Structure 1
Amino acid sequence: MDRRDFSKLFLGFAAAYALPQPVVALGALSNNTGNDEDALQRFVRHRILKQQRAYAAVTGTLKSSERRIITVRAPEAKDDYQLDGDTIFEVASLTKIFTALLLAVEVVHKRVRLDDPLQDYVPSGVKAPTFEGRQITLADLATHGASLPLRPNNLAASAPDAPNKYAGYSLEQLYGGLPNYHLQACPGSQFNYSNLAFGLLGQGIALKEGRSFAEILRERVTGPLGLRDTSLEDDPRKSARRAQGHDFYLSPIGPTSDGVLAPAGGLRSTANDLLTLLDLFISGRGPKDLVAASRLMLSIDRPGGSDITRMALGWRKTTTHGETYYWSNGSSDGSRTFMGFNPARKAGVVALADAASGEGLDDIGHHFLNPQQSVSTKVIPTPDFITLPEKVLLRGIGRYEQAKDDIIEISRGYTGLIVSAGYGEFVIRPQSPTTYASKMVPGLTIEFEGADMGPALTLTLRQDDKTYIYKRIP
């Protein structure tokens, strides 16, 4: 694994905070069973029962419109909620596909245009950021090309691992912080994953019509598709079907709220509802305007953050090993989700797990859509963590460099330290005063070295029998 490969490792596990990229599988196993659901079930059972990434999972497949639902629950699970294709999960960033579909429907009906500037979709008096005169467009927002950050700059709980960090985030905060962003690149020129962008997109459409985003989405997308269990609100009458969420350490957590960033990650849904959505893209089965909107979504081509992945509206489009498929994933405080489809194979897959995770079932979903994609089967013991005095924990905070294009930043998080590289980030926690590990990236360790009780001078990262040494940047 060279430095370029290691950078891809960061991007792969960046998806733990809904920064989707193709998963880099550790201990990867190539499998030639194609779309064999029996092999899929074996992979899911191994992920839950042996690798222990969650307590339960629901996987749904669609082949030429024929559905199959696979469920797995660990024997030690204490939750007794109904587990089937109608189990309701927080689907997190899968919400962005619905928001992008709503945008496409609005374009089909000529109520908006993809090249409309964001400036026309914010309250009067609010100044949207620009780059050398280039305005952010709705298409930029829907393809992560707006050059906006992942999260708003005025969140009260700004740590990426803070629980329920978007709850209560208001329209006043959303638009009040907008003039303070300074774009670092021309909109549309590069991929920069952003929950903020999709929040602005959904709320901008709502503002234009003078109604709530939830109401418009229900009227024009989820209602016409018959998605009765896909909603931004929790329905108490469906509590028996509501999956109990768990954090990275498999402790119960949630439910969560995304405030006015709900268009980026607030939906609850089921495997059955999501398969119906996928069928719209695979077979064109659905209302005519939604069929036209789905085709419009796939016609867009923008930078996607890697050599093999581009952005359509909402969807990631990956081309590798002679196959092209579309996908999305997400992570809430208590769930990990994936869905995608391969048009040539007329196949789709949904994979929902009841715990936050750095990988969830993503690589299994990628493998179903393209059998040449590998699946992680290596079983790595869960690290044992300790508690350190704050002054010891803070020794590692800083920026470290191996090369000019290979910089790691360490910051204080809510549950540990945050490792950031590019737009990827994950949590590490101490195993000793100098050695840290991550539940999100199994098998990875980071060791800080330097003067006693002073700032660490070097960071040594070990992964897959490879070692990388980074030096602190003054």
Structure 2
Amino acid sequence: MKTLQRSILTGLLFTTTCLAASAQLPVDSIAAILNKEVQLKRTPGIIVGTIDATGKREIISAGSYSDKKEIQPDGNTIFEIGSITKVFTSLLLADMVQKKQVNLDDPISKYLPASVNVPVIKGKPITLQHLATHSVGWPRMPDNYDPQNLDNPFSDYTVEQLYDYVSRSNFDYAPGTWFSYSNAGYGLLGNILTLIAGKPLETLVKERICTPLGMTNTTYVLTPEQKTKLAGGHTEYGAPAPSWDLPAIAGTGGLRSNMNDMLTFAAANLGLVKTDLYPAMQLAHVPHISKGKDGQVTLGWTLVKADNGDEFLWKDGTTAGYRAMMLLNRTKKTGVVILSNSLNEINDIAYHVLYPAIPVKTYRYTWAMHDLILETAKRKGADAAIEEYKTMKATRSPGLVYDVSQLNYVANDLRQAKKMKDAIKIFELNTQEYPNSSPAWESLGDIYKRNGKKKEAIEAYEKAVAADAKNDHAKWILEKLKAETK
């Protein structure tokens, strides 16, 4: 995993005060926005779907979903939807509650193997509801991942590792105290549901959600035909990004889908599609814990109330090269879905579509420095690139952004190009430029570790922990490295 890459599955939160009454944006205006954003390099390809109170759908797209030829995305183009997967996982839970198979307040220890030592904090056990509302107390990611493939970081993460993380976890406050977004929690929830049902998560989602709703292209594992329709993912600066596989924690972000299916799911959650799942969907929409000014957490969703009384549900998702957003106005029975094959933010476009008074953020391509340094490193080597970087920084070349992620991406691109010596030099430069950055030291430690430099790796990870005592992943890797050297 790219240590400095934006964390998966984060969203741009909006406050209730900015949601004033306004009409939904017309199709022509949406098309103009999408074409402009593609030209500005926000994304190579993007598709927007809207639905009104009558159930009428509109699909508008721009750009291309293929790097090989210009092919505009349509309703059948498949994207990774990241954390929108969570509302499918929570719907499975709600459906099991409706069917009297489980209770929300069931302790998770009831369903996990006896070998898993589930913590009880301040006399309160962790429950299914805590997992589904991000109120356990766990951080965003588990600490114990050390992938073979950095570009598909959780493809080899196992259920046994997840159980180990749960057994070692500890915190100072009782579960249910406050919101703390956790992919580990949702990964565990998906695992528990498979144990309860005795079926793989893929089977559960298809049998209980996709088949009843007629969603034929929402899946964890793509068929050969579906792979031909998968949009190619891209980094923030437009380079191809690999797809992610999350077998052990699939319930947190492993689904792929297309616009046709996503609009069906949106319509069902708005009550515009007749389905036996609607009572479970309504249960999943009930708020359980506050996020302060950012709304309330339901089972998987965030619920926000606008000044005019309208209620909104939203969920977004992010993987290495994709963004997805679903925003529903429960009061007016309208909604918007956006799918993009870029890591760049799209949530502002969704808000603007439903409420044009909320402006689209002006996108500015900020990766010119990265592009210049990377090109020089590939042509002339890292030493020349470093000299060029220092000259540009000293002369304050206009239009260039200097931050820790620019150099980190250059180094990772060199690593992917198998230019390891050059990659290491740029990672080292990053720690020299940003000596107080824990992620910079962690990235350097990781590349040292993968190139057999364990002593140097330990030193780098020690500095990562010194820079941020809460960097649990760096702590875990450091302990592992020290144990291996004994």
TM-score range, shorter chain: 0.7 to 0.9
Q: Alpha carbons of 1:129 and 1:81: their partners in 2 closer, same or farther (altered >3 Å)?
A: farther
Q: 2:123 corresponds to which letter in structure 1?
A: G
SS at match of 1:325: strand
Separation of aligned partners in 2, 1:96 and 1:31 = 29
Kept after mapping to 2: 8 A contact 1:166/1:258: yes
The residue number in structure 1 matching 2:473 is none
Structure 2 equivalent of residue 351 of structure 1:
338
Q: CA 1:379–1:356 in structure 2 vs 1: closer, same or farther (change >3 Å)?
A: closer
Shift of 1:254: 1.9
The alpha-carbon distance between structure 1 residues 378 and 32, as it changes in their structure 2 partners (threshold 3 A), is farther
Secondary structure of residue in 2 paired with 1:327: strand
Structure 1 CA distance for aligned equivalents of residues 21 and 29 of structure 2: 9
Q: Which has the higher strand share?
A: 1
The reply to whether residue 324 of structure 1 matches residue 361 of structure 2 is no
Query: How far apart in 2 are the matches of 1:339 and 1:200?
Result: 24
Please report how far the alpha carbon of residue 208 of structure 1 lies from its aligned counterpart in structure 2 after TM superposition: 1.9
Match of 1:364 among 343, 346, 349: 349
- Structure 1 residues 31, 346: closer, same or farther in 2, change over 3 A? closer
Summarize deviations over 1:225-257 as a string: whole Å, max 9, x none.
111000110110223311111122211222220
Please say which structure displays the higher CA radius of gyration.
2
Aligned twin of 1:125: 115
What TM-score, normalized to structure 2?
A: 0.73
More helix by share: 2
Note if 1:279 corresponds to 2:267: yes
Residue in structure 1 matched with residue 289 of structure 2 by the alignment: 302
1:364 is displaced (CA, Å) by 0.9
Q: Distance in 1 between matches of 2:161 and 2:217?
A: 30
Aligned counterparts, 1:359-398, within 5 A:
359=345, 361-385=346-370, 386=373, 389=425, 390-395=427-432, 396-398=434-436
Q: Which stretch of the first structure deviates more once superposed, 259-268 or 320-329?
A: 320-329
Deviations 1:278-330 (A, max 9, x none): 11111252322x110011111233123x4132111111112344343111111
Unaligned runs of 5+ residues in structure 2 are: 374-384, 387-424, 447-462, 468-486
| CA contact 1:321–1:372 (8 Å) conserved in 2 | no
Could you tell me whether the CA contact under 8 Å between 1:31 and 1:374 is conserved in 2? Answer: no
Contact 2:139 2:182 in 1 (8 A): yes
Alpha carbons 1:62, 1:347 under 8 Å: kept: yes
Identity of aligned residues (%): 29
Change (3 A) 1:35 1:189: farther
Change (3 A) 1:186 1:35: farther
**Per-residue deviation, 1:21:** 3.9
- The worse-fitting range, judged by mean Cα deviation, of 113-122 and 72-81 is 72-81
Q: Determine the structure 2 residue equivalent to 1:447.
A: none
Q: Does 1:20 align with 2:11?
A: yes
- The answer (yes or no) to whether the contact 1:15–1:330 under 8 Å persists in 2 is no
Contact 1:94 1:330 (8 Å CA) reproduced = yes
Letter in 2 for 1:379: R
Could you tell me how far apart the structure 1 residues matched to 2:288 and 2:315 are?
16
Pick one of 104, 115, 119 that aligns with 1:114: 104
Instruction: Write the distance in 2 (CA, Å) between the matches of 1:303 and 1:46.
Output: 37
Please say if residues 19 and 193 of structure 1, whose CA atoms lie closer than 8 Å, have aligned partners that are also in contact: no
Give 2:186's aligned residue: 198
Question: How large is the RMSD of aligned CA atoms in angstroms?
Answer: 3.1
Secondary structure at 1:260's aligned position in 2? coil
State whether residues 81 and 241 of structure 1, in contact with CA within 8 Å, keep that contact through their aligned partners in structure 2: no
Matches within 5 A, 1:394-405: 394-395=431-432, 396-398=434-436
Task: Report the 3-state secondary structure (helix = DSSP H, G, I; strand = E; otherwise coil) of the residue aligned with 2:268.
Answer: helix
| C-alpha spacing 1:381/1:124, structure 2 compared with 1 (3 Å) | closer
Matched letter for residue 324 of structure 1: E
Contact between 2:65 and 2:71, CA under 8 Å: does it hold in 1? no
Q: Which moved more, 1:55-64 or 1:40-49?
A: 40-49
Number of residue-to-residue matches in the alignment: 388
C-alpha distance in 2 between matches for 1:88 and 1:216:
20
Superposed counterparts of 1:87-98, under 5 Å: 87-98=77-88
How do 1:8-87 residues align onto structure 2 when only pairs under 5 Å count?
A: 17-22=8-13, 34-50=24-40, 52-64=41-53, 65-73=55-63, 78-80=68-70, 83-87=73-77
SS state of the match for residue 315, structure 2? strand
Structure 2 contact 64–73 (Cα < 8 Å) conserved: no
CA distance in 2, matches of 1:381, 1:255: 24
- Equivalent residue for 1:248, pick from 226, 232, 236: 236
Aligned partner letter, 1:392: L
SS of the aligned residue for 1:176 comes to helix
> In 2, Cα distance between the equivalents of 1:416 and 1:63?
51
For residues 104 and 48 of structure 1, the distance between their equivalents in structure 2, rounded to whole angstroms, comes to: 39
Paired with 1:337 and 1:268, the residues of 2 have a C-alpha distance of 10
Matching residue of 1:186: 174
The aligned amino acid for 1:270 is: N
Q: Please show how residues 282-293 of structure 1 align to structure 2 within 5 Å.
A: 282-288=270-276, 290-293=277-280
